[in-house]
Amino acid sequence: MRRFTLGLVVATLALAAPLQSGDTMASDSLYSLKTTALDGKPADLVQYKGKVALAVNVASQCGLTPQYAGLEKLHEELKGRGFTVLGFPSNDFGGQEPGTPEEISTFCKKNYGVTFPMFSTLVTKAGPDQSPIYALLGKGRELPSWNFAKYVVGKDGRVVAFFNSKVPPDDKALREAIEAELAR
């Protein structure tokens, strides 16, 4: 009986292993997470699987807020090739995103024509209130030290590059990182 049980355990493990290794939505994938859209509706990031994304912590009252224009331009130019910008409002730095979801949405559309997906305000800084999104984005790499930090996310949802807040959306190195992922 012991031999049969051991054989059954080994056979079960052998069958389970390919399922685990074949899992394309590993826990280190941004696209394995769920959040809330700016309009308050649930948002499953799996809908971006297969796309290259630029995840950005945004703020409406920051000196870098004009980067919204460049982010929208990048989104519009590359969305037909499987690219999207994902905007994550954050009030972590200088209290520069104090608005309600409706105020944020209105501001972004009115002033910058933002059409890329925007999500509910979250915490980027490490600590007990940190969003699982930024826990994942910052895992093993830099976390934002100010608004408009950028993470290039590959089609599988894994972070492939980080660019600090001072790097504008039209930066050559940022664009090259996005293009390299789109070519994969």
Tens digits of residue pLDDT in 26-55 = 578 999 999 999 999 999 999 999 999 999
Question: Looking at residue 46, what is its pLDDT?
Answer: 97
Number of domains in the chain: 1
Query: Quick check: is 34 in a domain?
Result: yes
pLDDT digits (tens, 9 = 90+) for 75-130: 999 999 999 999 999 999 999 999 999 999 999 999 999 999 999 999 999 999 99
pLDDT tens digits for 120-152?
A: 999 999 999 999 999 999 998 999 999 999 999
Sequential DSSP letters for 50-69: TSEEEEEEE-TTSTTTTHHH
The domain containing residue 135 runs over which residues? 24-182
CA distances from 39 to 28, 44, 97 (A): 26, 14, 16
Question: Is 9 a member of any domain?
Answer: no
In a domain, 65, yes or no: yes
Catalytic residue among 57, 91, 111, 164: 111
Residue 46 lies in a domain: yes
pTM comes to: 0.85
Q: What is the CATH number of the domain that holds 82?
A: 3.40.30.10
| Residue 146, in any domain of the structure | yes
Q: Is residue 78, in this structure, part of any structural domain at all?
A: yes
Residue 127 lies in a domain: yes
Known catalytic residue at 111: yes
Q: Where are the alpha helices (DSSP H) in 79-171?
A: 101-112, 132-137
- Domain contains 149: yes
